[in-house]
Structure 1
Amino acid sequence: MKGIKVLIDLPESSPSKDFELLAETISTLIQNSEPHFVTGIYGEWGTGKTTLMKQIQKNISDYDDDHNTLTIWFNAWKYEREEQFATVALLKNIAYAMTNNLKFEPIRETIFNALKIFGKESGKQLLQEFLSQEVIKEIKENISKKFDLLMSIEKETIYYDGLSIIETQMRKIRKNNKNCKIIVFIDDLDRCSPKKALEVLESIKVFLDMEGFVYVIGLSHTTLAKLISYSYNDVGVDGSDYLQKIIQIPLNLPKWDDTKLIDLIENNIAKSIDRKYYKLISDNSNILIKTVQNNPRQLKRFINNLIIAFESFSDTNNKKLSLVNLFVVQVLHKRYPKLVKIIEINNDCRDFFKKILKGYSRLMILRNTDKSWRIRERYKSDNELVPLFNELYNNPQPKLSHIRMLLRKLIPNELKKKELSFDLISSMSEISLDDWRLLRRYIPDLMEITDWSIYRKANEIVEDKIFENFPK
């Protein structure tokens, strides 16, 4: 077990060609346009929003020889537990990023002044400091001065003139140097609670009219639009309309097709895992990509689960665990969990399944023909399987209902008497053509497993749990 490691879910340093081209386009657009807009990077969980945004940030920094552009990374999820309004955390991030940058020093000071009072409680505390016991005797003489000072400080907070002062300072800076701009990258917005995600969006709205600022937000349009619609249901606000008003440049992530994910496996993942795992994954990349639904994060998750399960149970109580069999079991657990559980616990189901796969293998020999009579003539003993395989293989759009009916006719009497038969028929009728090919390749070994308990244990420790009913 020495030296094993898993894949870390970090942004890819070398994204696909499509990602590189899109990152180059957005970086150039940001550098050459007037800094007064919001770009939305739309993509679902695990599809590479952070990877693309990091590449854009790197490109902008590489272009900026004169240090006129300040890039700021704001991870919204990190501030999930902050009690203060999201605007405060965002402004603090911007201010701290300006440390030791002389061009933006005036804005840095203005922001910290603007954050002197965050709300009513802080205001009360400040008032108490001014009106402490030590100065109570001076109140009558100096009360007007004290309140004038308090009011002047409060006027500079974010609730009064603070944002106007920031805007004025930014104008002055850009008047002297038109290339100066601040690019704020906001990531992990759709990992936040509804309340915090909406706070961040409201904070961005505050800056929409402020020249010199560009925002690049990574988000799931579907998730955020639903969240906004739900949160503002009482006033009839549509989430998609809301996002359109904030985001001027919406961009969808390039889709991860088979070619891109295979490239990710060959050029990135291969360097990070043991050779035996890489070879198995590379040899079966097509079925694995379908299993993880073309999602690079799910791909890494599957590989990590396989490594952990195999290393934990590869030699338990002198029972040998086959890596290939474990891989197939985990693929099937993800795609057809009911089928695997039925096969695990019932020998009769396994025998029936073997019979179907044996007939399917014979059919594959004749895959260059769609003449059912040739199949019938050559394999008379398997006559009853011909209609099923014609439906499975020769029909470009097989009907699940028809497949179920054919399977029901074929199923042995001993299984018909058991409650498992319906689940077995339903599971088998949903197997795709690609998966039949996978099963045909590996099923002989899989069906020879005499003790499924070790595979069950290995799979259970890495199986994602789905809770359908939560306690109220």
Structure 2
Amino acid sequence: MWADNETSEDLLGFKVHADLLVNIIKDESILPITIGVFGDWGSGKSSILQIVKEEFDKDEDKESLCIYFNGWTFEGYDDAKAALLNSILKELEDNKKITAEIKDAVKEKAKKLWKSIDWMRGAGMVLKNVALPAVSAYFTGGVSLVPASIQIISQWSDSPEKIIEKLQSKEGKEIYESFIKQKKEGNNSSTNAIADLRKDFYDLLASTGFKRLVVIIDDLDRCSPERIIENLEAIKLFLNVPKTAFIIGADPRIVKYAIEHKYKSNKEIEEDNNRIVIDYLEKLIQLPYSLPRLSESEVETYISMLICKKEVGDTKFKNVLDEFKKYRITNKYSAFGLSNFEKILEAQEFGKVKDNVITIPSLVPLITNSLYGNPRQIKRFLNTYTIRKRLAEVASLVSFNDAVLAKMMILEYSEPKLFKKLFEWQIIQDGVPKEITNIEALCKDKGIEDVISEIKDSDFKEWSKPKIIKWFQIEPLLTGIDLRDYYWIARDKLENSITSTSMIPPVVRSLFNELLPDNMTAAVTKSLLSEKFQPFSDIEKDAFFNLLSSNLKRNPQQKRLYDIFNAMTEDKIENTVYQYMETLKIISVSDIEPAVATRLADFKSETEIGTFLNDYFKDGKTRASKAFNLKK
């Protein structure tokens, strides 16, 4: 099994990206700079950032200080600016590159910074979030803090009593009076406070003797929209401070969602939302760097290296990794696999690796296509593959072929609808469906375009996608194979592995949450689906359907979930009808509200779903059935 954690161990050949970032940051003429390392969920951003940090942390680099800040870890902090500054100061305090004498100077200079941060926290958070009239009433002798204000304060800390006590203290009164004074004097004082903070921060950095401060901010796309913006605003405080470089790792789509969320209540801005989002990002990120998806040779290398490490252990794998690094210097295009391992490993070790890798190379094009060159998806695929192989061994399944298992899993993952169709064929034919024989015969010794042309005119037109034709043509062929064991071993339908809702990409979860408000109109729903769902990759679309379906199964009374499915059905979004019907099969008609059934009646005349719905509501006894059948 393989852990889904970021690592500085480079099995992807990603060090070239890290080296480029390090090279740019070490160019003093470029600083200050903010770099955005952009990539999809699971694309390897965090691993690259770990390699960058490792490079700057080397003892021989006396000129650089690198700090790693996980935006998600600090989600619970009351203020992002304070969390970021606290991380920087703590790193300066603990860093082994800094002498004790310099640390004392740093602590002294840090006091001014904390005063600036305290002002921003006090004035910006406390008194802006608590209704000023209520606080004013307390301090002017009117009434105590009203319950509503106390309720807001209670959300800021595990110990709200301390915050309330602070507000009611002399210090709290001074903060309040300072805030009122700043309000009267206009925004200049606030601007000066930020300018002073930047100057003090630069003075502190200069006192350390470092030529550059590198701040890595990772996992930004796991945060809530509000927290993403807070983190970005915190970063903006330190932008343009000489000798600094900020590297932000994120899925840009999630950041864009957060910015749109920030401005959603401003009607004037909403009209030109796209421009606002672009301007915001361009002002924050001077250098966007997008990670490419893995190529077929990189996928083959990655899978082979993961399996090799698992089979030979960390100590012996170090030799393999060292050779891989040398290989990548001179050859960036070819796969690093079995032929390379054979020269490095002893015969017994190589034999173990070979037994597990041998089925992989032929399937790599399909894995690459189906998993979109995504390292996290590849790991999850391999984890599930490993579990199922072990289950086959424990269950003593006879004539079980690992290559067939891998091939079946590719179909299961990339085309769940067709995977189920194949299940239905084999279950009534003792595991050996004649349809497979017929389709493989159509695919034999022909080009993909020729096969598609023939299949489109046959009973198998839904199998006519190019990647499915490739799936049929690649070894091992399935003609004559008894598929019952493979479906028995996959009976979990990957609900707890590949398509687990706990592993939904953040960009998918963001769209799902954006679609949830009950008062959203059908027009807005369809607009969001068109703008944000349609550009998703197949993996992300499947994840969205899985999230929508699993939520509806758990909450069959939640009308809004049906509304989303209905909008997708009306727009004839691919795979919607199948997913909708499969979800409804799990839901009891008695759990469906009459209003939902009335709306579903609009689809009575639709070919596929109409037939299903008429049968689904045919009993005529439940309130939902009566409502459905009442509508003509």
Fold-level similarity (TM above 0.5) = yes
Kindly, what percent of the aligned residue pairs are identical? 19
Matching residue of 2:92: 98
Alignment of 1:214-293 (within 5 A): 214-233=245-264, 234=266, 235-236=269-270, 237=273, 238-273=276-311, 275=353, 276-293=355-372
2:56 corresponds to 1:60:
yes
Deviation at 1:216, TM superposition (A): 0.5
Alignment of 1:102-181 (within 5 A): 102=102, 104-116=106-118, 118-119=121-122, 120=126, 125-126=165-166, 128-130=168-170, 163-173=194-204, 179-181=210-212
Matching residue of 2:517: none
Distance 1:335 1:53 in 2: 30
Deviation at 1:149, TM superposition (A): 13
Deviation at 1:404, TM superposition (A): 4.7
Distance 1:398 1:226 in 2: 43
Distance verdict in 2 for CA 1:431–1:174, change over 3 Å: closer
Segments of 5+ residues of structure 1 without an aligned counterpart are: 133-145, 365-392, 409-423
Distance 1:334 1:226 in 2: 27
Contact persistence 1:107–1:166 (CA under 8 A): no
Distance 2:87 2:233 in 1: 16
Distance verdict in 2 for CA 1:249–1:404, change over 3 Å: same
Contact persistence 2:81–2:117 (CA under 8 A): no
Alignment of 1:205-220 (within 5 A): 205-220=236-251
Deviation at 1:290, TM superposition (A): 2.2
- Over alpha carbons, which structure has the higher Rg? 1
2:81 corresponds to 1:87:
yes
Matching residue of 1:350: 433
Distance verdict in 2 for CA 1:267–1:148, change over 3 Å: closer
2:406 corresponds to 1:406:
no
Distance 2:472 2:111 in 1: 66
Distance 2:226 2:176 in 1: 35
Aligned partner (choices 16, 19, 24) of residue 24 of structure 1: 19
> SS state of the match for residue 441, structure 1?
coil
- More relative contact order in 1 or in 2 (CA 8 Å, sep 6+)? 1
Deviation at 1:75, TM superposition (A): 0.8
Distance 1:335 1:149 in 2: 59
More displaced stretch, 41-50 vs 177-186: 177-186
More displaced stretch, 249-258 vs 186-195: 249-258
Distance verdict in 2 for CA 1:433–1:360, change over 3 Å: closer
Contact persistence 2:36–2:287 (CA under 8 A): yes
Deviation at 1:114, TM superposition (A): 4.1
TM-score (norm 2): 0.56
Aligned partner (choices 454, 457, 464) of residue 491 of structure 2: 457
Please give the per-residue CA displacement for 1:90-123, whole angstroms capped at 9, x wherever unaligned: 1221121121442643443334444546333677
Aligned partner (choices 548, 559, 568) of residue 468 of structure 1: 548
Please give the per-residue CA displacement for 1:234-288, whole angstroms capped at 9, x wherever unaligned: 2244212210011111112243111222222333442125734333334533332
Give the residue type in structure 1 aligned to 2:403. V
Distance verdict in 2 for CA 1:263–1:231, change over 3 Å: same
Distance verdict in 2 for CA 1:30–1:227, change over 3 Å: same
Contact persistence 1:95–1:112 (CA under 8 A): no
Give the residue type in structure 2 aligned to 1:11. T
Distance verdict in 2 for CA 1:15–1:31, change over 3 Å: farther
Segments of 5+ residues of structure 2 without an aligned counterpart are: 127-152, 154-161, 183-188, 312-351, 501-545, 559-632
2:437 corresponds to 1:443:
no
RMSD: 3.6
Aligned partner (choices 213, 229, 232) of residue 198 of structure 1: 229
Contact persistence 1:314–1:320 (CA under 8 A): no
Give the residue type in structure 1 aligned to 2:458. L
Give the residue type in structure 1 aligned to 2:25. I
